[in-house]
Amino acid sequence: MAKRKQTTELSNYGVKHIAFIMDGNGRWAKKRMRPRNFGHAEGAKRIFEIALDCSKRKIEVMSCYAFSTENWNRPQSEIDYLFKQLEVELKKKVPTLMKENIKLVTMGDITRLPLSTQKAINEAISETSANSGLILNMGLNYGSYDEIIRGFKNIAKKIETNEINSDDIDAKMISDHLYTAGYPPLDLLIRTSGEMRLSNFMLWQLAYTELIFTPVYWPDYTPEQLELSLQEFSKRKRRYGGLDNE
């Protein structure tokens, strides 16, 4: 395991926007002969630990897949626990977010979430809204298909009202109508647990993103693991469809 640098020397290796598909909570718990919810509780804590590390590295945005549009297919008892755990963690962590100048935002339609969860989220968003450090972007009831459809519907409304015409539509316009409008391009996506698929996550944003699939389960994904991922990223050559200068 690589030794961590001192806090003041932590490098972001050129990453401005990092994203996580946080997979493996249930399997992590099963290996320890504990219920799946135990894994979800540990996984929720890890979100904020990694966010603090990203903040110290001066990464601008951390996007994470907290609850997908497909996760509604899970048992209702597990869904209920996930949202209650999110409420607990938000209430506990908001003081830390304030201290560390971290701004919480969400992507996805949170109106389907329990009212108590919506309240906790909106309160945390409001309280941290003036913070100017890391943006912690949580995907909640998020799916990339839904995001892109939503964006195109909003563009279509502007065409209907003659604000724009169809010839104005380009990649920038589409990007400007996604949840990540105004954020830096996505540099690095990390998926934990060994699964190698994107699972309907930030498909438009991932066009030129570097991908890392690690076998480490999310509850075991520590700042030390992040350091290893960033070191691997630093060895990649990003050509964006072009050629090396060699």
Single-letter code of the amino acid located at 133: G
CA-CA distance, 15 to 191, in Å (whole number)? 16
**Rounded distance between C-alpha atoms, residue 90 and residue 92, angstroms:** 5
Query: Whats the size of the chain, residue-wise?
Result: 246
Q: Which member of 12, 23, 53, 187 is catalytic? A: 23
In the set 25, 37, 71, 176, the catalytic residue is 71
As a whole number of angstroms, the distance between CA 218 and CA 192 comes to: 6
23 is catalytic: yes
Q: Is 71 a catalytic residue?
A: yes
Q: How many CB atoms lie within 10 A of CB 49?
A: 14
Q: In whole angstroms, give the CA distance from residue 206 to residue 211.
A: 9
Backbone angles phi, psi at 223, to 5 degrees: -55, -30
Q: Are 65 and 201 in contact (CB under 8 A)?
A: yes
Tokens of 50: 């990694």
DSSP secondary structure letters along 49-116: HHHHHHHHTT-SEEEEEEEETTGGGS-HHHHHHHHHHHHHHHHHHHHHHHHTTPEEEEES-GGGS-HH
Residues with a catalytic annotation lie at 23, 71
